Amino acid sequence: MKQSWRWFGPKDPVSLDDVRQAGATEIVSALHDVPIGEAWTVEGVARHKALIETTPTGRSPLAWTVVESIPVPDDVKRLGKGATASIAAWIASLEAVAANGIHVVCYNFMPVVDWARTDLDWPLPNGATALRFDNDRFAAFEMFILKRDGAERDFDAATQARAKRAFEAMSQADIDELIRVIASALPGSTTDPLTIPAFRERLSQYRGIDHARLRQHLVEFLQAVTPHADRLGVRLTLHPDDPPRPLFGLPRVASTAADYRALFQAVPSPANGICFCTGSLGVRADNDLPAMAQEFGPRIAFAHLRATRREADGASFHESDHLDGDVDMVRVVQALVQETRRRPGSERIVFRPDHGHRMLDDLTKSVTPGYTAIGRLKGLAELRGVIRTIETLEGHLI
């Protein structure tokens, strides 16, 4: 398996030399300066690739192997094949990427907001901090800050009571921070940052779009783009919903094995694949990740390996160490290693250590939440050890 690292460009606090020292050889990146919905150019992709792949004398080479992500504009999610201009721009971006020799593209189809958390520095017993989704604080945001119509129907009476107490205990600074974390787009997000009024307006545009309609719009998008991906030799990898359940009264359509199975049946093109994110999928107790890794193995070109720990209420969770939490990481990695072994070397699965705790020196530095250097370094080292052990025990290093 190819070891990769997400890099946000020259302003990323983690340098390319840091990546080299972590032991990764592949870079996962994107043109984060291009507005959502605007087509990437061949020249723009080439410039970014040169930043990554122009290797200083004596340094280990790096390769830009995965694009994460080409954002899918909001109108595609609302209109499906009717969003012709946005789909055309997405295809143009795909062609620019392929022209530069990059053949794996990650994307997501989460409406209005991308990945969602309520806490970016939740204290752990060892003094490190983690990303967390606190369902009570999220309910407080929904009911008392966003004031979404019908939000109370999504939470039971006990949760509503706890959410009210949580809201009443918040200072204005606490409220502002919660708005920033939930509505203003987390690092790597492919949705627009929103004010509360803009958030309400965007939600109103989704009236009448249920699970079936959103899935149909995703199928229509894939029917439009996969012929081009096939022609260009690009693997499209759909990132799971994070968390994998409806939020803000909106449906989500990439949360379960059944969701992905339906998409692969609707659009059987080999270009239509999955970004196997164990942290996102692992939030649901009904997702059997080792079984999913085996079933969808041929469609996995890219994997995010991290673990989450579900909390007592069944709805809250936090990011655990990469080999702990509720993800059976060893069995997942074993399935991915076995799938990789069946492929030519050029088609090996690319994985990255996804997210990491804020720890050691990073506790006092400016960091990108979830994308700290030391936490991910620790995760990559643990994952690398699991991979090498499996390869050794199975008698076949790859």
pLDDT per residue over 47-82, tens digit each?
999 999 999 999 999 999 999 999 999 999 999 999
Residues 6+ apart with CB under 8 A from 268: none
Is 107 assigned a catalytic role?
no
Instruction: Render pLDDT for 252-306 as a digit per residue (tens, 0 to 9).
Output: 999 999 999 999 999 999 999 999 999 999 999 999 999 999 999 999 999 999 9
Would you say 318 and 118 are in contact if contact means Cβ atoms under 8 Å apart? no
Residue 277 annotated to the active site: yes
Q: Which of 48, 103, 304, 357 is catalytic?
A: 304
**pLDDT per position as a tens digit, 80-111:** 999 999 999 999 999 999 999 999 999 999 99
In sequence order, what are the residues at sequence separation of 6 or more whose Cβ sits closer than 8 angstroms to the Cβ of residue 258? Answer: none
pLDDT tier, 1 (very low <50, low <70, confident <90, very high otherwise): very high
pLDDT, residue 396, reads: 63
Give the pair of three-digit tokens for residue 248: 């803000």
pLDDT at 219: 98
3-state SS string over the chain? Answer: CEEEEECCCCCCCCCHHHHHHHCCCEEEECCCCCCCCCCCCHHHHHHHHHHHHCCCCCCCCCEEEEEECCCCCHHHHHHHHHCHHHHHHHHHHHHHHHHCCCCEEEECCCCCCCCCCCEEEEECCCCCEEEEECHHHHHHHHHHHCCCCCHHHHCCHHHHHHHHHHHHCCCHHHHHHHHHHHHCCCCCCCCCCCCHHHHHHHHHCCCCCCHHHHHHHHHHHHHHHHHHHHHHCCEEEECCCCCCCCECCECCCCCCHHHHHHHHHHCCCCCEEEEEEHHHHCCCCCCCHHHHHHHCHHHEEEEEECCEEECCCCCCEEECCCCCCCCCHHHHHHHHHHHHHCCCHHHCCEEEECCCCECHHHHHCCCCCCCCHHHHHHHHHHHHHHHHHHHHHCCCCC
CB 18 within 8 A of CB 27: no
Using CA atoms of 315, 321, 326, 327 in order, give the dihedral in degrees to the nearest 10.
Answer: 130
Residue 281 and residue 289 in contact, taking contact as beta carbons nearer than 8 Å: yes
What mean pLDDT is reported for the chain? Answer: 96
Mean pLDDT within 158-187: 93
Structure tokens at 297: 């193995």
Q: Which of 103, 217, 239, 318 is catalytic?
A: 239
Q: Which amino acid is at 218?
A: L
Q: Does residue 151 surpass a pLDDT of 70?
A: yes
So where are the chain's domains? Answer: 2-116+208-393, 119-201
Please tell me the distance from the alpha carbon of residue 265 to that of residue 233, in angstroms, as a whole number.
Answer: 20
Whether 354 is a known active-site residue: answer yes
Q: SS3 letters for 40-67?
A: CCHHHHHHHHHHHHCCCCCCCCCEEEEE
Query: What are the structure tokens assigned to 291, written together?
Result: 């079984």
CA-only gyration radius of the chain, Å: 20
Catalytic residue selected from 114, 242, 326, 354: 354
249 versus 190: the higher-pLDDT residue is 249
Average pLDDT of the segment spanning 134-162: 97
Give the Cα-Cα-Cα angle 244, 196, 179 (nearest 5 degrees). Answer: 65
Q: Please provide residue 270's backbone torsions phi and psi, each rounded to the nearest 5 degrees.
A: -65, -15
The rounded distance, in Å, linking the Cα atoms of 225 and 236 is 9
Q: Note if 304 is an active site residue.
A: yes
pLDDT score, position 186: 76
Does residue 239 carry a catalytic annotation? yes
Q: Do 238 and 109 contact (CB within 8 A), yes or no?
A: yes
Which member of 48, 318, 355, 357 is catalytic? 355
Residue 98 phi/psi, 5° resolution? -65, -35
Catalytic residue among 107, 241, 277, 326: 277
Place of tokens 């007592």: 312
Q: What is the pLDDT of residue 344?
A: 83
pLDDT, tens digit, for every residue of 359-382? 999 999 999 999 999 999 999 999
Assess whether 48 carries a catalytic annotation. Answer: no
Report the C-alpha gap between 209 and 176 in whole angstroms: 30
Neighbours of 367 (CB within 10 A): 21
Query: What confidence score (pLDDT) does residue 394 get?
Result: 85
Q: Give the tokens for residue 347.
A: 């088609």
CATH architecture of 2-116+208-393: Alpha-Beta Barrel (3.20)
